[in-house]
Amino acid sequence: MKIREITEDLFKQNFSKINAIVTQQHSDVIRKLLGEMFPKQREIIDFAYRDEVPFAEWRRFIYEIDQWVLTGPVVLQASQIPPHEREYELELEKRYNQYVQDKEAGRPARYFRQNDADPRTIDFSKLPPMTMSRSPRGSEIVDGNHRAFLAKKARQPLKSYVWNNTTNNHPNVAKIKSLFAEIDNRVAA
């Protein structure tokens, strides 16, 4: 069995415990350690923690922090934004088209959960950056699917932070990994 498969199984089998460690028991400590590790990426760390716990998509990166380095922001041209899965792309397109139909018919319309901005007239330079990951399996959007969809549709650039799948040797890695020692020790036994 490959290391990636072992890690995947371990993550799935222990998700509840990992989730509790990341979101409840050590959320503030992990946020502080990430900020020290990635000071240039503080904006996206704060954004990912805006509800006091990290986005669900970040929990795996935190658990596997020894394998990931956060970089950016970089500006991606629309053509450089990773593709969505076809079904999800169709869902996003359907939502966008429904917004346009409702708006043009004078019905209440909201594309975004928390603001009334018209997705057809967005200033993409003012949007929070999306987050993506790069690994041997390719690039994928971690957070910001709607922003990415709209940027591609409008053929506009979008800022992105990137989780790169590479060895992370920062001293804080050991501190974060130690928070998961109980889980990791069960596998080693």
Q: Which residues of 78-101 are buried (b: 16+ CB within 10 A; e: fewer)?
A: beebbebeeeeeeebeeebeebee
Supply the pTM of this predicted model. 0.82
> pLDDT digits over 67-114, tens only?
999 999 999 999 999 998 899 999 999 999 999 999 999 999 888 877
* 59 sits in which H/E element: helix 56-63
pLDDT at residue 57 is higher than 60: yes
pLDDT band at 10 (very low <50, low <70, confident <90, very high): low
pLDDT at residue 1 is higher than 60: no
What domain range includes position 159?
3-188
| Number of structural domains in the chain | 1
Helix (H/G/I), strand (E/B), else coil: 18: helix
Contacts of 109 (CB under 8 A, 6+ apart): 99, 102, 103
Q: Which residues of 2-26 are buried (b: 16+ CB within 10 A; e: fewer)?
A: eeeeeeeebeeebeeebeebbbeeb
Instruction: Go through the chain and tell me how many residues it has.
Output: 189
